[in-house]
Amino acid sequence: MISSSDRAGPRADAAGHDAIEAVIVGAGASGLLAAHELLRLRPGSRVILVDAGLPLEARRALARPPMGGEGGAGLALGGRLYLGAASLPVMPPVSAPPSMRPIIAGEDYVRRASEIDALLHALGARAEWQPEPPESLARAIREAKAAGVDYITSYPSRRLSPEDKTAALTGLRQRLLERGARFIFGARVTVATHTDEGFLLTLDSAEAPEGAPPVPERLMTRALLLAPGRYGAEWLTRVASDLGAEVIALPRAFGVRLETPAAVYDPLTDVNPDPRLQAALVDDAYIKTYATCPGGYVSPVARYGALVASGVPALRREERRPTTTVAILAQPGVTGAVGAWRGGERAARTLNQRAPGRLTVQRLEDARQRRATTAEALAASPIRPTDPTAAPGALHDVYPDAYWAAFEDFLGRLERLAPGVTSGETLLYGPAEERFWHFPTDAHMQTTTPGLFVAGDGPGQSQGVIQASVAGLLAGEGLAAALASAAR
Ligand SMILES: Cc1cc2nc3c(=O)[nH]c(=O)nc-3n(C[C@H](O)[C@H](O)[C@H](O)COP(=O)(O)OP(=O)(O)OC[C@H]3O[C@@H](n4cnc5c(N)ncnc54)[C@H](O)[C@@H]3O)c2cc1C
């Protein structure tokens, strides 16, 4: 079990805290690459990676892998490496706060991406490069374009096999251990406070694997990188704000989560399990598919102070259910959010007040007719709702008219790619909402709080393994520079 390395054993300071130079919260793509770069530039740095999830072997032993743990979601579960230009700009084509810009772009980005690819290859991830999309995807991209929808992808790419992923992650861990890193798994960082000596972290080790060495309750560190991924974004926002970093809330993406027979969406998901499709709208907004879960199910989750509809993917083909769920979200820019799109940000609260503790589900036909779905109508629906706790009711009256107009237009375009998706029987769940924040940083991911760094999907710098890794690489350079200047 990897939980500590004697080679870089911690020293206790006067208060009994471990004397550590850098703590990295999150052992996903960005955290791992940050540690790798820090230790490449400054071998022997006393760095600890803390992850709430499990090490790779323990993750693999589970019947159902959770999203967090060594390798995060994308490197341990997905394994598609997109090596072309950054595929998903953080805020495409809408207005953004003036300080928001890609940290790295163009040739600089592509060079870093290929460095990461070369590292993973050297560690044993040998999948072939695909210079162009395979014909099935190329066709899907063409068809989307003909329907007036952008299909978001990036090439060249490599698709890692399970063996590739294991080789890359175990090789990376081995190299980090040899260079003096320590890992703590199954420990969630709950609180971080700023003291004169650095950052004091509190750890909750309730999920620590059995037989692992005891997890310290507290860690004190001079430099701190928060890389908790998308699922840790809300926590990150709170902790970084508490530590004094500037955090800017971006306009919410809002809308509904669709549930349709899997066979309807198969033409899209057979080619790519999570096809990202989007279309620009007038009035500073765009509409997009988000978190498609082929054969998955809808689950209510508490997020952003509300109960929202989330999709849970079937991670194995044999686990698939008969329905597919995908969110259809409108993303206004900062100008649009106070204009035509005003009101969407209140939808979650309104729906939660109407149906406390439950999602609302409405048949598409009922939404079109502007009438609530009744329990009887839902019981007669040919699509069995995968969230049996959802309350039949009305969504049509809580979103701005601009949303429904854009939704119908977008769905009409999707109909050409997934015939049947516009059926009145399609179920809509609400509220669906995604929130993103902007963390102003320097070019090495240091926030406005000196010594505090952020990287990856959590702070909205990336939406994919390679993008997150590039952000991690830059943060690793920043950590190395910060430690070097502290040592002077
Ligand atoms: C099922 C799935 C498949 C995907 N497949 C692909 C793919 O094939 N290709 C691709 O490019 N992208 C894919 N993605 C997206 C990809 O996962 C992310 O873009 C990428 O993992 C982001 O890296 P990250 O380091 O920012 O965060 P993550 O990889 O999410 O890692 C964050 C880590 O932080 C830990 N953490 C969070 N909060 C705390 C805390 N408070 N204390 C301690 N630890 C904490 C988590 O346990 C997690 O391990 C996929 C996503 C999912 C959900």
Residues 358 and 450 in one domain: no
CA 367, distance to chain mean position in Å, is: 30
Candidate from 49, 457, 467, 469 with most ligand 1 atoms within 8 A of CB, to mutate: 457
Residues 289 and 428 in one domain: yes
Average confidence (pLDDT) over 412-436 = 97
Of all protein residues, whose CA lies closest to atom 16 belonging to ligand 1?
Answer: 74
Candidate from 3, 32, 37, 51 with most ligand 1 atoms within 8 A of CB, to mutate: 51
Distance, CA 73 to ligand 1 centroid (Å)?
Answer: 4
Q: What is the pLDDT of residue 5?
A: 34
Strands (E), 92-197: 129-130, 150-152, 157-159, 182-185, 188-195
Residue 151 located in a structural domain = no
Tokens representing 440 are 């102003």
Atom of ligand 1 nearest to the CA of 203: 42
Atom of ligand 1 nearest to the CA of 313: 1
Of the listed ranges 131-135, 197-201, 213-217, 328-332, the least confidently predicted one is 213-217
Residues 81 and 186 in one domain: yes
pLDDT digits (tens, 9 = 90+) for 247-262: 999 999 999 999 999 9
Residues 328 and 372 in one domain: yes
Distance, CA 464 to ligand 1 centroid (Å)?
Answer: 8
Atom of ligand 1 nearest to the CA of 69: 49
Residue 145 located in a structural domain = no
Distance, CA 283 to ligand 1 centroid (Å)?
Answer: 32
Residue 74 located in a structural domain = yes
- Answer whether residue 17 shows pLDDT above 70: no
- The pLDDT confidence band at residue 201, using thresholds 50, 70 and 90, is very high
Residue 64 located in a structural domain = yes
Per the listing, tokens 């790519």 go with 272
Show which of 434, 461, 478 is a domain's final residue: 434
DSSP state of 382: S
Tokens representing 169 are 């992650």
Residue 422 located in a structural domain = yes
Show which of 417, 434, 451 is a domain's final residue: 434
Distance, CA 192 to ligand 1 centroid (Å)?
Answer: 21
**Measured between alpha carbons, how far is 403 from 367 in angstroms, rounded to an integer?**
12
**Measured between alpha carbons, how far is 120 from 64 in angstroms, rounded to an integer?**
25
**Measured between alpha carbons, how far is 89 from 288 in angstroms, rounded to an integer?**
13
Average confidence (pLDDT) over 478-482 = 97
Distance, CA 159 to ligand 1 centroid (Å)?
Answer: 17
**Measured between alpha carbons, how far is 486 from 476 in angstroms, rounded to an integer?**
15
**Measured between alpha carbons, how far is 127 from 118 in angstroms, rounded to an integer?**
12
Residues 322 and 400 in one domain: yes
124 vs 4, residue with greater confidence: 124
Residue 148 located in a structural domain = no
What's the total number of domains in the chain? Answer: 2
Residues 171 and 309 in one domain: no
CATH of the domain at 172: 3.50.50.60
Residues 88 and 194 in one domain: yes
Show which of 434, 450, 466 is a domain's final residue: 434
Phi, psi of 433 (to 5 degrees): -155, 145
- CB environment 241-254: b (16+ within 10 A), e (fewer): eebebebeebbbbb
Give the amino acid at 230. Answer: R
Residues 376 and 483 in one domain: no
Angle between helices 465-487 and 106-122 (to 10 degrees): 90
Q: What's the whole-model pTM score?
A: 0.91
Three-class SS state of 192 = strand
**Measured between alpha carbons, how far is 90 from 460 in angstroms, rounded to an integer?**
6
316 vs 452, residue with greater confidence: 452
- Percentage of the chain surpassing pLDDT 70? 94
Give the amino acid at 37. Answer: E
Task: Note down the domain range covering 33.
Answer: 6-125+160-248+438-487
Q: What is the pLDDT of residue 92?
A: 65
Residues 403 and 288 in one domain: yes
Atom of ligand 1 nearest to the CA of 187: 43
**Measured between alpha carbons, how far is 451 from 435 in angstroms, rounded to an integer?**
26
Residues 376 and 428 in one domain: yes
Cβ distance 34 to 473 under 8 Å? yes
Distance, CA 202 to ligand 1 centroid (Å)?
Answer: 22
Mean pLDDT across the chain, nearest whole number?
A: 91
Residues 214 and 298 in one domain: no
**Measured between alpha carbons, how far is 234 from 239 in angstroms, rounded to an integer?**
9
Residue 143 located in a structural domain = no
Distance, CA 314 to ligand 1 centroid (Å)?
Answer: 17
pLDDT digits (tens, 9 = 90+) for 133-165: 999 999 999 999 999 999 988 889 999 999 999
Distance, CA 374 to ligand 1 centroid (Å)?
Answer: 39
Residue 184 located in a structural domain = yes
Q: Which helix (H) or strand (E) holds 453?
A: strand 452-454
- Answer whether residue 6 shows pLDDT above 50: no
> What is the CB < 6 Å shell around ligand 1?
25-31, 50-53, 67-69, 72-74, 77-80, 82, 188-189, 227-230, 232, 235, 313, 456-458, 462-465, 468
Distance, CA 46 to ligand 1 centroid (Å)?
Answer: 24
- Answer whether residue 89 shows pLDDT above 80: no
Average confidence (pLDDT) over 350-370 = 98
| Bridge partner residues of 157 (DSSP) | 82, 130
- The pLDDT confidence band at residue 179, using thresholds 50, 70 and 90, is very high
Residues 199 and 232 in one domain: yes
**Measured between alpha carbons, how far is 430 from 114 in angstroms, rounded to an integer?**
40
